[in-house]
Structure 1
Amino acid sequence: MDDAAPLTRSEAQGAVTTLGWRLLLGELVTVVPLDSLAEGAGLLAAVTAELGAEGDAHLRADLRPDRLRLALQHRASGTVTGTDVALAHRVSVVLDRPVAPVGGRRTDPVQELEIAVDALDVAAVRPFWAAVLGMVPQPGDDDALVDPAGRLPAVWFQRMDAERPQRNRIHLDITVPHDVAEQRVAAALAAGGTLVSDAAARAFWVLADAEGNEVCVCTWQERDRPGEVSPAG
């Protein structure tokens, strides 16, 4: 396997599932529960020492008092490669403890939020959103915008072929691990939501609140087929 070549979603997730990592929006992600910032700082220092300079091009970390979130991706291309899988194995050896890939003590979730904008002419509206939000094109996907600081949700643009009267033009996409998606959908329905469509499940389910505002619950699954187009792809 060429360590620099992008992996399919199935290859990437399959290579790290038993380690407690999950594939979300083109990143391998895991969360370690913590008792303190000091504990997390020590773990992060050990991880960065293990990866050395190689980590700069792949690793992103978010440290809070109750959790350390680690994400691996080849940042220049916005893809998961064989190198990222190898780094995940090395990081897991350093952590040497249970992680919380799909929930855990005090802190759930491994998840990512995107804002989706329906547009007839993406090129006409994308510069406005980039300017007003201070965002830049996502590596490998010029139709998506990301926060350079990695703090705001990504914004991506879904091309429409015609106006859609009485339909939301902006909706949310929440991407969760594949093994909690159905639980999340069930919880939303139990909380008063309705199922608009499950035609694209397991890639995504379209739900709506009591007034028709839509959200998609998304996973990495069913997205490696040629020509497939779907939310949070």
Structure 2
Amino acid sequence: MDRISNSEILAAIAAELPDWRKLAQPLAARYRTGDAVSGAAFVAAVTQASVAAGHGVPEIRLAPGVVDIGLYGVDAAGARWVTPKDLELARVITGLAREHGLGAAPDEVTQVEIALDTADDTVAGPFWAALLTGDAGNTVHDSAFDPTNRVPCVWFQRTDPHETPRQRWHMDLWLAPESARSRIRAAVAAGGTVVDDSGSPSYTVLADPEGNRVCVCTAVGRD
């Protein structure tokens, strides 16, 4: 697969794809729709353009007032990467949105990953893939993916062996870079604390009032 680097993706966004943002795996966009019919017409146009381009059907979510789109390719092992074909399709979709009179809301794109600390993801991975997706084989490298995206990805964060109890599960909340700081401020105002911001803006670790941790992540500063 002809995958491209994170820095190349961010450069393309800055130069020519202002509607789009890079999340954990996908290149993502959100468009605001006036009504369900206009949203459905846009979805149909995107689907037709995607198939015509040999891309296949992208991840599309039609919801009240919005259409969310995620673009990525899947390699032979099942891993998900942004490719040059995804950038080209993003350009086409941007043009279709303009033709349909839709406005982009790139600051609202969001992805949730569930992260589990484990010393050996080959042991835990098949269990969680089978439980969440129905197929223990839906494990790819350090993650478990549902091919149809019914449930969030589970990412297995490698750690040294350790005794329990300790917090081993946490959420990774992927946001547009321009939204991360305001979301962190809102969480702190609601009783949270910043545990570690040394990795900001790539990731910032927060804790809720009971000490449960979560990472707020962006694509900035990653390879």
Q: Shorter-chain TM-score: what band?
A: 0.7 to 0.9
TM-score, normalised via structure 1 length = 0.84
Q: Deviations over 1:77-103 (max 9, x none)?
A: 51111121111111111110421111x
State the match for 1:172 in structure 2: 171
State the match for 2:188 in structure 1: 189
State the match for 2:12 in structure 1: 15
Partner of 2:106, secondary structure, is coil
Which aligned pairs between 1:84-99 and structure 2 lie closer than 5 A? 84-96=86-98, 97-99=102-104
TM-score, normalised via structure 2 length = 0.87
Cα 1:213–1:114 change in 2 (3 A) is same
CA distance in 2, matches of 1:37, 1:142: 39
Cα 1:44–1:59 change in 2 (3 A) is same
Aligned partner letter, 1:218: C
CA distance in 1, matches of 2:18, 2:138: 31
Aligned partner letter, 2:35: S
Equivalenced residues, count: 213
CA distance in 1, matches of 2:130, 2:165: 28
The percentage of aligned residue pairs carrying the same residue is: 36
State the match for 1:137 in structure 2: 138
Aligned partner letter, 1:78: R
Q: Deviations over 1:186-228 (max 9, x none)?
A: 111111111111121121001101111000000111111xxxx
Alpha-carbon offset, residue 166 of structure 1: 5.5
Q: Which runs of 5+ in 1 are unaligned?
A: 103-108, 225-233
CA distance in 1, matches of 2:63, 2:91: 23
Alpha-carbon offset, residue 58 of structure 1: 6.2
- Contact map agreement 2:51 2:57 (CA 8 A) in 1: no
